């Protein structure tokens, strides 16, 4: 599962190009440099904008809300932006200079619990601040980056960390250093927060900077509970039946004295048979065990004895 973001058509124009690749979580990105028409604000949005101080903040807010509204409309979601609280499971906002970007999940996905976006244009973090947002291992990796590439790398990592933070549904007490990027060199990949929550992210290079989008994945989607079939008690007929289906040999030929080397000459196939039987009967066999197994009867005896031994441990 990866996060896949739409790319911009241009810095100024709004973009509507959700890309739904296979096995990916599509996120629609919309950029805007123009503010939302104040006459189009809902009652909730009017209340929110009235609470902001200063014309500049108000203008940025309206620009961001325009991007968000377009993204919500483009994904078929309700467009009253005041109904969305951040961190949100479906949407995120960022702005840099006069450009605002909204990221909205293109559809609802089980297991996605947060979306984050961050854009940086015409700005490079001071290298001395790297230790405030990168982990020890990330800083270690940064030392291997050629000096002339460090500013661009730092900017990208900053946007990734910000996007992770925004995507984290419980980020109230976290810092950017709590997020560990699996491979800091990768433009897309995985990240975690203290082993508690996993993320996918992707970074997109822009002409004047970089943008990153992240999605947070729920623990339930990561550690799904699986229906466990009951463990079977070993008996020769059941074992032969499984082997028959694996190696496509009629069960009538699978007598206790049948030799395994003749039935399963392909060593990969033998691994498959061995693992399948261990899974079915919940036993562990070793290479040493299997060395002494020549016939199907030997194998059944071994499985039976291991099942009894291991049940008593």
Q: What is 225-273 written as a DSSP string? A: --PPPPPPPP-HHHHHHHHHHHHT--GGG--TT-BHHHH---HHHHHHH
Q: What is 46-103 written as a DSSP string? A: HHHHHT--SHHHHHHHHHHHHHHHHHHHHTT----GGG--SS-SSEEEEEETTEEEEE
Exactly one of 147, 194, 286, 312 binds other proteins (CB under 8 A); that residue is 286
Q: What is 119-166 written as a DSSP string? A: EEES----GGGHHHHS-HHHHHHHTTS-GGGHHHHHHHHHHHHHHHHH
Exactly one of 33, 80, 272, 301 binds other proteins (CB under 8 A); that residue is 272
271 near other proteins (CB under 8 A): yes
278 near other proteins (CB under 8 A): yes
Nearer to other proteins, 41 or 264 (CB): 264
261 near other proteins (CB under 8 A): no
Q: CB under 8 A: which stretch of 13-21, 149-157, 248-256, 275-283 binds other proteins?
A: 275-283
Contact 36, 59 (CB under 8 A): no
What is the edge-to-edge ordering of all strands in the sheet holding 179-181?
Answer: 112-121, 209-217, 197-206, 188-193, 179-181
74 near other proteins (CB under 8 A): no
Residue 271 zone, left/alpha/beta (φ > 0; ψ -120 to 50; rest): alpha
Nearer to other proteins, 98 or 276 (CB): 276
CB of 275: closest distance to other proteins in angstroms?
5
Exactly one of 290, 295, 301, 307 binds other proteins (CB under 8 A); that residue is 290
Residues 219-248, interacting with other proteins (CB under 8 A):
222-224, 226-229, 246
Q: What x-and-dash track marks residues 160-199 binding other proteins by CB under 8 A?
A: ----------------------xx--x-xxx---------
Binding residues for other proteins, per CB under 8 A?
182-183, 186, 188-190, 222-224, 226-229, 246, 267-272, 274-276, 278-279, 284-287, 289-290
């Amino acid at each position: 599962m990866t996060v896949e973001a739409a790319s911009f058509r241009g810095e100024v124009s709004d973009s509507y190009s959700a890309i739904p690749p296979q096995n990916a979580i599509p996120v629609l990105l919309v950029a805007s440099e123009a503010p939302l028409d104040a006459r189009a604000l809902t009652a909730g949005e009017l209340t929110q904008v009235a609470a902001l101080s200063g014309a500049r903040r108000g203008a940025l807010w309206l620009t961001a809300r325009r991007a968000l509204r377009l993204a919500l409309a483009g994904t078929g979601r309700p467009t009253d932006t005041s109904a969305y609280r951040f961190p949100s499971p479906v949407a995120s906002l960022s702005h840099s200079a006069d450009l605002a970007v909204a990221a909205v999940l293109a559809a609802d996905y089980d297991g996605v619990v947060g979306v984050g976006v961050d854009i940086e244009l015409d700005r490079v973090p001071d290298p001395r601040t790297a230790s405030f947002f990168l982990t020890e291992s990330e800083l270690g990796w940064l030392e291997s980056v050629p000096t002339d590439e460090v500013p661009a790398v730092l900017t990208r990592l900053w946007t990734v960390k910000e996007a992770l933070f925004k995507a984290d549904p419980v980020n109230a007490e976290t810092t950017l250093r709590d997020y560990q990027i699996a491979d800091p060199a990768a433009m897309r990949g995985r990240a975690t927060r203290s082993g508690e929550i996993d993320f996918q992210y992707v970074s997109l290079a822009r002409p004047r900077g970089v943008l990153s989008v992240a999605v947070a994945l729920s623990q339930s989607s990561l550690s799904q509970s699986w229906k466990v079939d009951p463990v079977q008690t070993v008996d020769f007929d059941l074992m032969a039946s499984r082997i028959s289906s694996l190696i496509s040999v009629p069960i009538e030929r699978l007598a206790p004295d049948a030799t395994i080397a003749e039935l399963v000459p392909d060593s990969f196939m033998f691994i498959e048979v061995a693992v399948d039987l261990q899974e079915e009967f919940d036993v562990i066999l070793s290479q040493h065990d299997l060395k002494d197994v020549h016939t199907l009867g030997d194998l059944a005896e071994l499985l039976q004895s291991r099942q009894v031994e291991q049940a008593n441990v």
